[in-house]
Amino acid sequence: MPRLAGSKQNHVRRLGYDRPLAKGNSLVASARMAAASDLMATGGQLAMPPLDGMPLRFEFSAGDRACIALARTLLELDLGSPDDWEVANHDPAAYVLVALDRLIAAHGGDSIKRRFDLYATLTSCLDEYSEKNEANPDGSRLYLTIDPDRCGFLILNPTVKVLEKANPRLPATFYGLFAGALNRWVRVYDHQDAQERVTMWREWMEGEPDAEQYETPDVEKCIPACMRQRPLSRQKLRAVTSKVEGREVRKLLKAVLELADISERARRPELTDEIREELCDTNPPLPSLLAVFAESDAIEACFNDEGQTALEVTPEPSVIIPLNAHEPQSVRQAFHTFGVVCDTLAAASRMIDRMPGNERWVIQP
């Protein structure tokens, strides 16, 4: 679900009344007093001015020049539809979000949400607590970011066993392409991250008088031996795929080759010195997917331990796509890159659906 950060909107609603209009004067007979109609001139009915045709909702927006500029550019590039202006109730910020919704839907949104819980944010600052954060109200410097709300889950052992039967080098080749394609855009927490965590623990324990009493998760033991095989090149994998036995194996290999190709359709934007300076006090991005070999293995134990401190400092966004709302080429490139990220996530999600042993870990059916 896209979010828009830094936008302030106040909604003012003018209310009409359901009370009936006042009726005209009626004669009041009295034995001792003259009727009011005898003392006052009678006129037409007392009536309230009609509200027909008057707008019932007014909005005041402050600091939305960036959204206005971006909405105009999206319309010029045909990335936004004129009909969406009515859907957005003439609100530039809502119009931009509608355009993002359409883009996500067109690039596999339904597939993404099955295995990933992510949100996109359009903002003018990457870390609201950073001392380097500067106001940028005109939209000349905006960022389209992607962050995980929850981490997806993937079990690898059933797939590893199927691939190993076909060729001992396929498991390492398959996972290398799969993780490489995703890590190009979002973070996958796997056995390599767990090994780094264990190494860090051991460095901390060095010199401790009772270091031998500490116990660390045995990550090496949970990694299948075939995962240490030298991976095949992409060219050799294509040749093996055409000859390998087993329909499901061929589908998995073709899917991972397609995933690798999709992820490379755009280059990850390089972080400028200004961006790095703004993010100097942030933690690494949060993982979008946890890849383990078996449920509750050593990798998951390391992940759970690291998760206890992951939010002590603001994490860096998983994806940062800079754009200038006033420059059509900048907006076009940013939305193209965003589309490739969505395509990659959608392809990865569909692949996980094919991988045996992962039926239970769907986030949104």
Q: Which residue has the tokens 């500067």?
A: 134
User: In angstroms, how far is the first alpha carbon of the chain from the final one?
Assistant: 16
Task: Lay out the sheet containing 117-123: strands in order across.
Answer: 3-4, 117-123, 142-150, 319-323
| Strand ranges (E), 197-353 | 289-292, 319-323
Instruction: Note whether residue 54 is domain-resident.
Output: no
Amino acid 57: pLDDT: 66
Token readout for 302 is 């390391």
Q: Based on the structure, what is the number of domains in the chain? A: 1
Instruction: Note whether residue 170 is domain-resident.
Output: yes
Q: Can you give the pLDDT of all 365 residues of the chain as single tens digits?
A: 465 443 333 222 223 323 333 333 333 333 444 555 554 555 555 667 777 777 666 665 555 788 899 999 999 999 999 999 999 988 899 999 999 999 999 999 999 999 999 999 998 888 776 665 666 667 788 999 999 999 999 999 999 999 999 999 999 999 999 999 999 999 999 999 999 999 988 888 777 777 677 788 999 999 999 999 999 999 999 999 999 989 999 999 999 999 999 999 999 999 899 899 889 888 999 999 999 999 999 999 999 999 998 888 899 999 999 999 999 999 999 999 999 999 999 999 999 999 999 999 999 99
Query: Which H/E stretch holds residue 241?
Result: helix 234-243
Instruction: Note whether residue 60 is domain-resident.
Output: no
Instruction: Note whether residue 38 is domain-resident.
Output: no
Instruction: Note whether residue 15 is domain-resident.
Output: no
Instruction: Note whether residue 193 is domain-resident.
Output: yes
Report the Cα 352 to chain-centroid distance in Å: 19
Assess contact for 159 and 174: CB atoms under 8 A.
yes
Instruction: Note whether residue 53 is domain-resident.
Output: no
- For the chain, the maximum distance between any two Cα atoms, rounded to a whole number of angstroms, is 115
Structural domain boundaries enclosing 327: 65-361
Instruction: Note whether residue 323 is domain-resident.
Output: yes
pTM listed for this prediction: 0.82
